[in-house]
Structure 1
């Protein structure tokens, strides 16, 4: 156990022995920052055969918080269910689910991908349950969100940023 009362690795001793300090992570808090659920079907009294088609949009955000090694990661999901054929909206769910993480021993160049890949993976099961409960409580069968590949999302975002930079350089030239 380290002198400061935590079981964090002693980075100075690790540097002397040539060992890399271990990455330590703790989830300090998880919470819903914003939530909206609209049951459009009940408001419009849609009739007849309804075959739902669901689309999910995911956005991720992460930033440093005031405390030492503390970061907030926010998952923003927009879930829209429409009736196939008529394109009538059945329900719309928007949620921002956040987690506060303490991360130690991670090199700075690895922090960005860690925050946008590993942290959302830890939050995802809780978010999935919340979405299932909300849709069920909103009058629909529980919507079980498919597993999200956060690594693929991260790679897509990096590719989009690179493409935007190339467009900007071309426009400036």
Structure 2
């Protein structure tokens, strides 16, 4: 048994320890337009909300640091009509220090785990802005960042396949 414990300890020492810290997070760009108030609409209107999410990550010039941007485009229309009630665009930015991730796992880590850490703050901002903009607070549902990553991979693979077909 002592040999098994020693082997396990040696494996732990050899495996790089994953380190991740959020160095900064902030609103990089925010736009909210209350179209309904500008048009002078009144009465009871049932909303139809569309939320589009994208995530991007880039290496910074400093070693082991990455920029991760979580972008939301939210359109709220009157249900059954083309009348826009409000438009909101939000780019929320995080700077992360990440070490110990194998290179082949770095991109999924940056595009899945980092946005998961940013999302609670984005949710609060969206809720506050919509409320301050004259609407009931919009409480976003959880976002499946794994699914967004898979869609991104599928899109990139389709583009590569098209490029090979054109060549």
Greater displacement, 16-25 / 113-122: 16-25
1:48, distance to aligned residue in structure 2 (A): 3.4
Aligned Cα root-mean-square deviation (Å): 1.6
Match of 1:93 in 2: 88
Distance 2:165 2:79 in 1: 42
Which one has a larger percent helix, Structure 1 or Structure 2? 2
Distance 1:73 1:169 in 2: 30
Match of 2:101 in 1: 106
Match of 1:151 in 2: 146
The list of structure 1 runs, each at least 4 consecutive aligned residues, that deviate by more than 6 angstroms after superposition, is 14-17
Distance 1:34 1:114 in 2: 24
1:49, distance to aligned residue in structure 2 (A): 3.1
> In the TM superposition, what whole-angstrom CA distance separates every residue of 1:82-118 from its partner, at most 9, and x where no partner exists?
0012220000000100100001111111111100000
TM-score of the pair, normalised by structure 2: 0.90
Q: Secondary structure of 1:132's match? A: helix
Distance 2:112 2:11 in 1: 31
Greater displacement, 37-46 / 159-168: 159-168
Structure 1 gap segments, 5+ residues each:
1-13
Match of 2:35 in 1: 40
Aligned residues: 159
TM-score of the pair, normalised by structure 1: 0.87
Query: Counterparts of 1:5-154 in structure 2 under 5 Å?
Result: 19-154=14-149
Structure 2 gap segments, 5+ residues each:
1-8
Distance 2:30 2:66 in 1: 21
Q: Secondary structure of 2:14's match? A: coil
